[in-house]
């Protein structure tokens, strides 16, 4: 399973990404949990140790390593540096899951962040195209880390949508970006559904044949988000309906 999760801020991307990762963990499937949202919070939602998370440097900030990896390239940027060692060293473990924090690339100004971008791209290429582990990418609505190249490695992009006008507008914008990148499959997941009216609203607002599922609003999920130290989830803590999504996007598949 190689998937990316996107959608408007607060729609539930990290919650859904974390729930899918737990499904993989319960099935003992090796997977990478990639926090690709510059405003990163997947680690906390997964229940990783907050101190260890804070101590894990984002990959975009590994200045010396990035400079070293480019040493052979001289003035040129090495577009394909070896990154296997990074996936051993700069990760946190949770069962069969390895957690990676990408970090953001600064935009604007006159400085060039080409080396950082090339490095992150090499990491994504490695996990998405070269390796057999499953991957769940938690992204922002901008899906800025993806390129035409890495997009080829994503089987399904899940766009999380709350039943609000703003979330729908963002979801349709993500759908257009994904289509520009030629992602093979984009599917919508309704989240925080409280009523039949919520369901009807999303059915009327999104391409119906691509709505994969609608997940209920859950008091338990919200309650967990208020805890300081989030515990690892048990099977019974999963969001009702997540298994259906997991099965539909081919849970278990160890595809390259
Ligand atoms: N189905 C749900 N029922 C109740 N609360 C939910 C549900 N899904 C997510 N939430 C809550 O909504 C809030 C936002 O969820 P989450 O952090 O997963 O969103 P996000 O899209 O990753 O946000 P951000 O853009 O800030 O990264 C959290 O407090 C989370 O616990
Ligand atoms: Mg998030």
pLDDT in tens, 165-182: 999 999 999 999 999 999
Question: From ligand 2's centre to the CA of 15, what distance in Å?
Answer: 7
- Give pLDDT, residue 82: 80
pTM reported for the whole predicted model: 0.92
- Give pLDDT, residue 115: 82
Which of 66-80, 197-211, 214-228 is the most confident on average? 197-211
pLDDT at residue 77 greater than cutoff 70: no
Give the model's confidence band at 107: pLDDT under 50 very low, under 70 low, under 90 confident, else very high.
Answer: low
Taking all residues of the chain, what is their mean pLDDT, rounded to a whole number?
A: 89
pLDDT at residue 80 greater than cutoff 80: no
Question: From ligand 1's centre to the CA of 191, what distance in Å?
Answer: 9
What are the angstrom distances between the C-alpha of 35 and each of 13, 39, 167, 168? 11, 9, 21, 23
- What are the pocket residues of ligand 1 if the criterion is a CB atom closer than 6 Å to any ligand atom? 7, 9-15, 37, 39, 41, 45, 191-192, 215, 217-218, 221-222, 225, 239
- Give pLDDT, residue 251: 47
The domains found in the chain, sorted by start residue, are: 2-248 (3.40.50.300)
Q: Average pLDDT, stretch 22-48?
A: 93
Q: Which ligand is nearest to the CA of 16?
A: 1
The residue whose CB lies within 8 Å of the most ligand 1 atoms, and thus the one to mutate among 40, 160, 214, 222, is 222
Write a three-state SS string for 65-112: HHHHHCHHHCCCCCCCCCCCCHHHHCCEEECCEEEEECCCCCCCCCCC
How far apart are alpha carbons 159 and 120 in whole angstroms? 22
- Give pLDDT, residue 222: 87
pLDDT at residue 71 greater than cutoff 60: no
Question: From ligand 2's centre to the CA of 77, what distance in Å?
Answer: 31
């Amino acid at each position: 399973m190689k998937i990316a999760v996107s959608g408007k801020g607060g729609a539930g991307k990290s919650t859904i990404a974390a729930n899918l990762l737990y499904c993989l963990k319960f099935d003992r499937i090796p997977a990478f949990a990639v926090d690709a949202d510059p405003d990163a919070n997947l680690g906390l939602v997964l229940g990783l140790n907050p101190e260890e998370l804070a101590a894990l440097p984002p990959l975009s900030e590994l200045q010396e390593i990035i400079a070293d990896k480019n040493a052979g390239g001289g003035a040129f940027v090495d577009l394909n540096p070896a990154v296997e060692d990074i996936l051993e060293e700069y990760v946190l473990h949770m069962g069969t899951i390895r957690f990676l924090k990408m970090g953001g690339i600064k935009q604007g100004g006159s400085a060039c962040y080409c080396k950082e971008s090339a490095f992150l791209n090499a990491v994504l290429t490695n996990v998405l195209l070269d390796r057999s582990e499953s991957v769940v990418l938690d992204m922002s609505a901008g899906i800025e880390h993806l390129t035409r190249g890495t997009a080829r490695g994503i089987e399904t992009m899940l766009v999380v949508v709350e039943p609000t006008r703003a979330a729908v507008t963002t979801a349709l914008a993500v759908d257009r970006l994904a289509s520009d990148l030629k992602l093979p499959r984009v599917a919508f997941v309704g989240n925080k559904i409280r009523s039949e009216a919520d369901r009807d609203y999303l059915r009327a607002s999104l391409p119906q044949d691509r709505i994969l599922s609608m997940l209920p609003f859950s008091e338990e999920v919200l309650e967990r988000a208020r805890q300081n130290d989030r515990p690892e989830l048990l099977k019974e803590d999963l969001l009702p309906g997540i298994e259906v999504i997991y099965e539909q996007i081919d849970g278990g598949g160890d595809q390259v």
